[in-house]
């Protein structure tokens, strides 16, 4: 099977995976007590008005009809629906919120890779000292504490003493400004840079620092661990011994023989981490009021807004399967032995 | 003319330069040091707009408050008082049978696009609200039989019943009765990110759902211009984020809702100002499903009423300043308020009396009443778990009650009491309109308290509630007192406290008015910048 066929078959499988996932989410949401209209209850609203609102959302129909309606609208009409109370298209909300999540994911992956790779490489280089133990402790600690706790620690001990902003992607005034910039992709980094608004860009970077550091630190644990183990493995191979025998410097060996051969497992892990990354993003976004898909899901669950949760999960699923596809394709470039 | 390069030219240039520098320097040095006013204010909140900003549908605190900054009705509350005054109305007459009102309206008021306000527009707006019949439509739908424009500046209103005067005015002052521009408003609910054209100090500039709302001064407003040209309302997910944002200066005013403990902390630090005012949004109370064993026994409910220490809640959780103990569902400051629970049960816990009642109901120290007390942690105050813990401690002080504290998020919570799976739980009430009727009917009238699942039915109280809205004010006060006394005796609902309002603001912010109207008036707020 060639690369093209492989990619094609993977893409064909995506709707099947989506179907299973959406069925699961659909059922899970219906098991939770309450429905989208529950948020309006506890007030004086007449019963007939509430009943009409439920009927407008199709909540009065039997559950299997709701299920079929839902699948029909997602897979046939390609429509993610509207939110229950505001009646805003979910696709619009996702389009507005997605850039924030991607920004966070990319920046925290960079941070995780920087911390993880350097720790892993350093401990592989000095593998007979104390460093590997320290790094091992670091990675297990960082990976086992909840990500929001890292966020709270950073807020309390870094942001507060320095007076750094800890909420949102921009200060409120700049948020409004950013939405009227000449270049508008939704990615504030690009928009402010291309519009020449360095003041907004710097405000953005300050706001981005803590959330991406939080998520980055969380993910760096696994990164450093996997890097260390695979580099160490490569370092004990015969070709490294030979290199050492030829009198190459230890760092050159680590970089040229260790790291390169370790890239495959690191890449695999990075691909698998996408799910953890997006899961961590939900918690990081809620901790820092970072208005991405994660915060949207969180609010959607609290409001029992089925359309929001289902829509966001769809996007998550597509993102995860897309990334793992990209990772699979990258293998072929990193390792010439890989054939599809 | 002097040649370029000559001494004269050099001199002229030098003089000109010096003059320019002097003028600039003078401008900065001599410019009035009087504080300037910032042209934009950022208000942070943990509330969000639940549905839309269309007055025919909005029914949540923040949505309604923003509408009240963009529109106004025929009557309004005077800032700082609980007094209803004419707003878009100029004068009115009531027919002798009290069923027909003729209201003369202002002729100088214009909508945002310059269209003048007419009686026809008022009537059209009311008809739209009633026809679309969204969540709050009943507020005028149950009041008005018919409305017509008898001239371009006079609206004739036919009421469904001969209602009492302040009751009528308080309903006509609600946002659902705000005139909207018939030329630009569709006969359908206007969805985010848009709103309708009303007559008020501000208009909507931009709205990113879930993130912020931006208002700018309405240039066609007939009244006084707002103190600040632009207002940004920024939404925060929780009290913690809001506190951080106001502390690092990203937000000028944090209003609704920081935890009282945070406010205490902020006051101690002294870097920000705390403005507080009387409040009724919400009033807090405990609901007891009177069909559930053993709470179907009135004595058990009365014992609970004897045991709760409202002062302890107010003093420990609200520092004694941000809330007041509440001894009736009708809050302090409202027509006919009476401290019925205080008269009936005292203002301190009475363990002796409670124990007697519990013994009569068949409980003892060896056979205590085992009950669950439910609360929901997010919807009202971040201090909810602390409050529930105090109530548990109060009830257990009797030695004959064992309380199991339980909590759930709102949707689960609502389902639990709707399906009558729980017996005792804490709730809060935000008024629909500022009249005592709105504090008795939805709770005690068996025809209107179905939503609450308290299952309380009492024909006497039903009859009194129906009568009071039709009585002249003096008589009405007496009837309201009777209603509150019966409610205290039966104790299906135990009023606990009314929450005061508090805003945390930067020190340069002025003009925050917090009063019984519960309207947070953006148009009065401004921030000074020195220099």
Q: Which residues of A are less than 8 Å from B192 in CB distance?
A: 86-88
Number of Cβ within 10 Å of residue A196's Cβ equals: 12
> What whole-number distance in Å separates Cα of residue B461 and Cα of residue B439?
13
Distance (Å, whole) CA B464 – CA A122: 82
- Looking at chain B from residue 163 to 202, which residues have their Cβ under 8 Å from any Cβ of chain A? 189, 191-193
Cα–Cα dist B390/B314, whole Å: 11
Contacts of A90 (CB under 8 A, 6+ apart): A80, A81, A82, A83, A307, A308, A311, A312
Among A100, A289, A303, the strongest candidate for a mutation testing the B interface, having the largest count of B CBs within 10 A, is A289
Which one is the CATH code of A90-338: 3.30.70.20, 3.40.190.170, 1.10.3720.10, 3.40.50.10490? 1.10.3720.10
- Pairing type for strands B36-37 and B369-375 reads unpaired
pLDDT of residue B327: 97
pLDDT, position B21 = 63
Query: Does B411 contact A159 at a Cβ distance shorter than 8 Å?
Result: no
Q: What is the DSSP-derived secondary structure letter of residue B175?
A: G
B40 touches chain A (CB under 8 A): yes
Cα–Cα distance measured from residue A182 to residue A193, given in angstroms and rounded to the nearest whole number: 11
Q: Shortest CA distance to B282 belongs to which of B499, B439, B514, B432? A: B499
Residue with tokens 């066609």: B220
Minimal-distance CA residue of chain B relative to A287: B241
CA angle B489, B493, B496 (to 5 degrees): 100
Cβ pair B206:A86 closer than 8 A: no
Give the nearest partner residue to B241 out of A164, A167, A296, using CB atoms.
A167
Question: Among B209, B432, B451, whose Cβ lies nearest the Cβ of A41?
Answer: B451
For residue B235, give how far its alpha carbon lies from the nearest alpha carbon of chain A (Å). 9
SS3 at position B127: helix
Q: ω before A107 within 30° of 0 (cis)?
A: no
* Structure confidence at residue B336 (pLDDT): 92
* CB neighbour list of residue A217: distance below 8 Å, 6 or more residues apart: A111, A112, A115, A142, A150
**Cβ–Cβ of B237/A39 closer than 8 Å?**
no
Chain A nearest C-alpha distance from B419 (Å): 10
Summarize pLDDT for B381-415 with one digit per residue, the tens. 889 999 999 999 999 999 999 999 999 999 899 99
Asked if A289 and A298 count as a contact pair (C-beta separation under 8 A), the reply is no
Q: Is the pLDDT of residue B5 over 70?
A: no
User: Does B421 contact A at CB distance below 8 Å?
Assistant: no
Subunit contact B135:A86, Cβ cutoff 8 A: no
Contacts of A34 in chain B (CB under 8 A): 410-412, 414-415
Q: What pLDDT is attached to residue B150? A: 97
Question: Which residue of chain A comes nearest to B141, CA vs CA?
Answer: A46
Question: Residue B65 — very low, low, confident or very high, per pLDDT cuts 50/70/90?
Answer: very high
- B232 and chain A: CB distance < 8 Å anywhere? yes
Give the pLDDT confidence score for residue B321 in this predicted structure: 85
Chain A residues inside the 8 Å CB shell of B435? none
Contact (CB<8Å) B206/A176: yes
Q: Would the pLDDT of B3 be above 50? A: no
Angle at B369 between CA B368 and CA B374, to 5 degrees: 135
Three-state DSSP string of B29-74: HHCCCCCEECCEEEEEECCCCCCCECCCCCCCHHHHHHHHHHCCCC
Query: What is the mean pLDDT of the segment spanning B66-94?
Result: 93
Radius of gyration of chain A (CA): 24
Closest CA to B447 of B142, B133, B137, B129: B142
- Decide if B237 and A176 are in contact by the 8 Å CB cutoff: no
Average pLDDT rounded to a whole number, residues B244-255: 94
Per-residue pLDDT tens digits for B180-218: 999 999 999 999 999 999 999 999 999 999 899 999 999
| CA distance to A72, A87, A283, B233, B321, per residue, from A300 (Å) | 22, 13, 14, 21, 35
Question: Which residues from chain A sit within 8 angstroms of residue B134, using beta carbons?
Answer: 49
Residue B61 half-sphere exposure, CB side, CA atoms within 13 Å?
Answer: 20
Q: CB distance A42–B51 less than 8 Å?
A: no
What's the pTM? Answer: 0.90
B378 has pLDDT over 90:
no
Instruction: Decide: residue B340, CB within 10 A, 0-12 exposed, 13-18 middle, 19+ buried.
Output: buried
Q: Could you tell me if B400 and B358 are in contact, meaning their C-beta atoms sit under 8 angstroms apart?
A: yes
Is the CB of A167 less than 8 angstroms away from the CB of B244?
Answer: yes
**Residues A44, B411: C-beta atoms closer than 8 Å:** no
Q: How far apart are CA B261 and CA B321, in angstroms?
A: 12
CA of B210 to nearest chain A CA: how many angstroms apart?
8
The Cα–Cα gap between B471 and B480 comes to 11
Interface contact flag, B248 A47, Cβ < 8 Å: no
Over residues B221-244, the mean pLDDT reads 94
Q: Which range, A141-150, B75-84, B141-150, has the best average confidence (pLDDT)?
A: B141-150
Round to whole Å and give the CA distance between A92 and B466.
Answer: 47
Nearest Cβ partner of A44 from B247, B251, B432? B432
Count of residues in chain A:
340
Looking at beta carbons, which residues of chain A come within 8 Å of B59?
Answer: 40, 43, 45
Is A41 within 8 Å of B450 when comparing Cβ atoms? no
Which pLDDT belongs to residue A11? 82
Residue with tokens 């006060």: B477
What whole-number distance in Å separates Cα of residue B112 and Cα of residue A61? Answer: 43
Helices (H) and strands (E) in chain B, counts: 16, 22
Q: Smallest CA–CA separation between A37 and chain B, in Å?
A: 9
Position B6 pLDDT exceeds 70? no
Burial class, A123, CB count within 10 angstroms (exposed 0-12 / middle 13-18 / buried 19+): buried
Percent helix, percent strand, percent coil in chain B, to nearest 5: 35, 25, 45
- Lowest-pLDDT choice from A152-166, B85-99, B230-244: A152-166
A vs B: CB pairs below 8 A: 139
pLDDT range class, residue B304, cuts 50, 70, 90:
very high
Chain A partners of B439 at a C-beta cutoff of 8 Å?
A: none
pLDDT, averaged in runs of 10, over chain A (340 residues): 78 85 91 90 86 93 94 90 92 94 93 90 85 90 90 90 88 93 92 93 94 93 88 85 86 83 80 82 91 93 92 88 80 70
Asked if the peptide bond before residue B48 counts as cis, ω within 30 degrees of 0, the response is no
Average pLDDT estimate for B158-175: 95
pLDDT of residue A90: 95
A305 CB neighbours in chain B (<8 A) are none
- The DSSP bridge partners found for residue B372 are B404
Q: Which residues fall within 8 angstroms of residue B367, CB to CB, at 6 or more apart?
A: none
Q: What is the pLDDT of residues A94-120, one digit of tens each?
A: 999 999 999 999 999 999 989 998 898
- Helix A90-125 vs helix A260-288: crossing angle, to nearest 10: 130
Using the beta-carbon criterion (under 8 Å), do B135 and A35 form an inter-chain contact?
no
Interchain CB contact of B450 with A (< 8 Å): yes
Average pLDDT, whole number, for chain B? Answer: 92
Kindly state the average pLDDT of the residues B465-469: 95
Any chain A CB within 8 A of the CB of B251?
yes
Per-residue model confidence (pLDDT) at position B19? 63
pLDDT score at B32: 46
Mutate which: A44, A179, A301, vs B, most B CBs within 10 A: A44
pLDDT in tens, B348-369: 999 999 999 999 999 999 999 9
List strands edge to edge, sheet with B283-288: B323-325, B493-499, B283-288, B424-429, B369-375, B401-407
Contact A176/B214, CB-based, under 8 Å? yes
- From A35's Cα to the closest Cα of chain B, the distance in A is 7
H/E stretch holding B373: strand B369-375
Among A33, A96, A296, whose Cβ lies nearest the Cβ of B415? A33
Closest chain B C-alpha to A38 CA, distance in angstroms: 6
Using the 8-state DSSP alphabet, how is residue A255 labeled?
I
Dihedral class, residue A137 (left if φ above 0, else alpha if ψ from -120 to 50, else beta): alpha
Q: What is the per-residue pLDDT for B1?
A: 40
Every domain range in chain A assigned CATH 1.10.3720.10: 90-338
The CA distance from A159 to the nearest CA of chain B, in Å, is 10
Give the Cα separation of A53 and B396 in Å (integer).
43
Q: What is the pLDDT of residue A44?
A: 80
- Residue in B closest to A296 by C-alpha: B210
Taking contacts as CB-CB distances below 8 angstroms, the residues of chain A near B432 are: 43-44
């Amino acid at each position: 099977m060639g690369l093209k066929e492989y990619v094609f078959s993977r893409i064909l499988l995506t709707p099947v995976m989506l179907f299973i996932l959406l069925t699961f989410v659909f059922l899970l949401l219906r098991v939770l007590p309450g429905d989208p209209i529950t948020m309006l209850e506890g007030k004086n609203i007449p019963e007939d008005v509430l009943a009409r609102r439920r009927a407008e959302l199709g909540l009065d129909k039997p559950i299997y009809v709701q299920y079929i309606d839902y699948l029909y609208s997602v897979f046939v009409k390609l429509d993610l629906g509207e939110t229950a109370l505001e009646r805003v298209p979910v696709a619009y909300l996702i389009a507005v919120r997605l850039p924030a999540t991607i920004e966070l994911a990319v920046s925290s992956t960079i941070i995780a890779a920087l911390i993880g790779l350097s720790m892993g490489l350093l401990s592989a280089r000095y593998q007979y000292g104390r460093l590997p133990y320290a790094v091992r402790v670091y990675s297990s600690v960082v990976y086992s504490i909840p990500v929001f706790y890292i966020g709270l620690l950073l807020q309390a001990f870094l942001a507060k003493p320095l007076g750094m902003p800890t909420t949102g992607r921009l200060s409120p005034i700049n948020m409004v400004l950013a939405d009227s910039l000449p270049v508008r992709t939704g990615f504030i980094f690009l928009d402010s840079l291309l519009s020449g608004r360095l003041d907004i860009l710097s405000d953005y970077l300050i706001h981005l620092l803590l959330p991406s550091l939080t998520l980055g630190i969380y993910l760096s644990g696994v990164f450093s661990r996997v890097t260390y183990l695979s580099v160490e493995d490569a370092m004990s191979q015969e070709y490294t011994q030979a290199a050492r025998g030829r009198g190459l410097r230890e760092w050159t060996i680590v970089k040229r023989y260790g790291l390169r051969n370790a890239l495959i497992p690191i890449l695999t892990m990075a691909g698998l981490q996408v799910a953890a990354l997006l899961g961590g993003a939900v918690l990081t976004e809620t901790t820092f009021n970072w208005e991405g898909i994660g915060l949207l899901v969180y609010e959607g669950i609290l409001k029992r807004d089925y359309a929001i949760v289902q829509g966001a999960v769809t996007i998550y699923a597509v993102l995860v399967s897309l990334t793992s596809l990209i990772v699979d394709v990258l293998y072929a470039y990193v390792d010439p032995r890989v054939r599809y | 003319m002097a040649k370029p390069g000559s001494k004269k030219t050099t001199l002229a240039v030098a003089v000109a330069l010096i003059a320019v520098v002097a003028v600039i320097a003078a401008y900065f040095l001599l410019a009035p040091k009087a504080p300037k006013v910032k042209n934009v204010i950022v208000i942070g909140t943990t509330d969000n707009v639940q549905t839309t900003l269309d007055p025919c549908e909005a029914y949540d605190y923040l949505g309604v408050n923003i509408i009240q900054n963009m529109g106004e009705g025929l009557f309004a509350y005077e800032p700082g008082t609980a007094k209803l005054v004419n707003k878009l109305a100029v004068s009115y007459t009531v027919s002798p049978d009290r069923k027909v009102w003729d209201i003369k309206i202002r002729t100088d008021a214009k909508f945002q696009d310059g269209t003048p306000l007419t009686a026809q527009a008022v009537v059209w707006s009311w008809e739209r609200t009633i026809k679309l019949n969204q969540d709050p439509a009943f507020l005028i739908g149950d009041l008005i039989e018919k409305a017509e424009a008898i001239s371009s500046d006079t609206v004739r209103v036919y009421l469904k019943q001969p209602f009492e005067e302040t009751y009528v005015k308080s309903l006509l002052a609600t946002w659902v009765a705000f005139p909207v521009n018939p030329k630009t408003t569709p006969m359908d609910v206007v969805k985010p990110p848009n709103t309708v054209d009303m007559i008020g100090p501000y208009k909507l500039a931009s709205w990113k759902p879930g993130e912020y709302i931006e208002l700018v001064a309405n240039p066609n407003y007939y009244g006084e211009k707002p103190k600040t040209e632009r207002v940004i309302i920024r939404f925060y997910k929780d009290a913690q984020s809001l506190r951080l944002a106001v502390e690092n200066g990203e937000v000028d005013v944090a209003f609704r809702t920081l935890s009282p403990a945070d406010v205490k902390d902020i006051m101690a630090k002294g870097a920000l100002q705390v403005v507080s005012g009387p409040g009724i949004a919400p009033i807090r109370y405990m609901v007891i499903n009177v069909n559930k064993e053993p709470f179907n026994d009135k004595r058990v409910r009365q014992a609970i009423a004897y045991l709760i220490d409202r002062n302890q809640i107010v003093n420990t959780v609200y520092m004694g300043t941000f809330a007041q103990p509440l001894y009736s569902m009708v809050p302090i400051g409202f027509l006919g308020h009476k401290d019925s629970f205080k008269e009936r049960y005292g203002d301190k816990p009475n363990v002796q009396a409670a124990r007697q009642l519990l013994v009569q109901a068949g409980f003892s120290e060896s056979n205590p009443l085992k009950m669950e007390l439910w609360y929901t942690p997010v919807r009202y105050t971040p201090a909810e778990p602390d409050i529930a813990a105090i109530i548990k401690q109060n009830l257990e002080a009797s030695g004959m009650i064992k309380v199991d504290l339980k909590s759930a998020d709102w949707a689960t919570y609502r389902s639990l009491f709707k399906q009558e799976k729980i017996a005792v739980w804490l709730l809060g009430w935000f008024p629909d309109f500022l009249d005592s009727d709105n504090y008795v009917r939805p709770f005690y009238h068996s025809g209107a308290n179905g939503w609450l699942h308290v299952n309380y039915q009492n024909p006497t109280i039903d009859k009194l509630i129906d009568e009071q809205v039709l009585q002249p004010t003096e008589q009405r006060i007496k009837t309201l007192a009777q209603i509150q006394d019966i409610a205290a005796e039966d104790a299906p609902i135990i009023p606990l406290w009314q929450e005061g309002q508090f805003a945390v603001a930067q020190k340069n912010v002025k003009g925050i008015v917090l009063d019984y109207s519960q309207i947070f008036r953006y148009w009065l707020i401004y921030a000074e910048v020195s220099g």
